[in-house]
């Protein structure tokens, strides 16, 4: 009887351990040296209807990160306006860039995420933003690209879109 009870206790302990929640360690969010600037208008034809223009307008001012000379945290100012089908917000302002990674030499791209406020600062949100610098300013060629996803505090989509810059220029550099 003692052997059976010992075996049952050991089995219960092992089963409880198998179903225990594993500790999650967040990824390191150290940025590399890079920056982004510009003003652009993106047109998405499939997001255009009688009530919306199918556009994203973005202004990126002094966005960058310098882990060598700076403090290693991204800084800068980003605002966006949306006139898109499936969008429940009309504007968004970034309040904190939590992560910024810049890569590439010829078509430099930066990926960022962080916190924001939408609809005139009334809706707390999270954003993910991709900016790709495909051409030199004022020259013909492959357009720059802007991609964005904005979620509310519960993780519900507020807006999204990825497309080529129609007018304006986005500059992304990596050092």
6 part of a folded domain: no
12 part of a folded domain: no
7 part of a folded domain: no
Q: Going from the first residue of the chain to its last (175 residues), give the mean pLDDT of each consecutive group of 10, the final group possibly shorter.
A: 50 52 69 94 97 98 92 95 97 96 93 97 97 89 96 96 96 91
Structure confidence at residue 1 (pLDDT): 52
The residue range of the domain holding 162 is 29-174
150 part of a folded domain: yes
Q: Please name the residues in contact with 46: beta carbons below 8 A apart, sequence gap of 6 or more.
A: 54, 85
The pTM for the full model equals 0.83
52 part of a folded domain: yes
Structure confidence at residue 141 (pLDDT): 87
Are 36 and 111 within 8 A, CB to CB? Answer: no
Structure confidence at residue 30 (pLDDT): 77
Structure confidence at residue 5 (pLDDT): 45
17 part of a folded domain: no
99 part of a folded domain: yes
Number of domains within the chain:
1
1 part of a folded domain: no
Structure confidence at residue 29 (pLDDT): 72
């Amino acid at each position: 009887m003692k052997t059976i009870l010992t075996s049952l206790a050991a089995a219960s302990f092992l089963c409880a351990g198998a179903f225990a929640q594993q500790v999650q360690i967040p990824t390191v969010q150290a940025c590399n040296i890079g920056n982004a600037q510009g003003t652009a208008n993106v047109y998405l034809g499939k997001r255009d209807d009688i009530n919306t223009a199918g556009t994203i307008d973005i202004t990126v001012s002094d966005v960058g990160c310098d882990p060598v000379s700076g403090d290693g945290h991204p800084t800068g100012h980003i605002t966006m306006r949306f006139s898109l089908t499936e969008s429940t917000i009309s504007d968004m302002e970034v309040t904190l860039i939590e992560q910024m990674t810049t890569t590439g030499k010829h078509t430099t791209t930066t990926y960022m995420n962080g916190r924001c406020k939408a609809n005139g600062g009334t809706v707390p949100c999270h954003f993910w933003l991709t900016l790709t610098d495909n051409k030199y300013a004022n020259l013909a060629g492959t357009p720059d690209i802007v991609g964005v996803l904005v979620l509310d505090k519960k993780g519900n989509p507020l807006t999204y879109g990825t497309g080529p810059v129609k007018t304006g220029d986005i500059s992304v550099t990596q050092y």
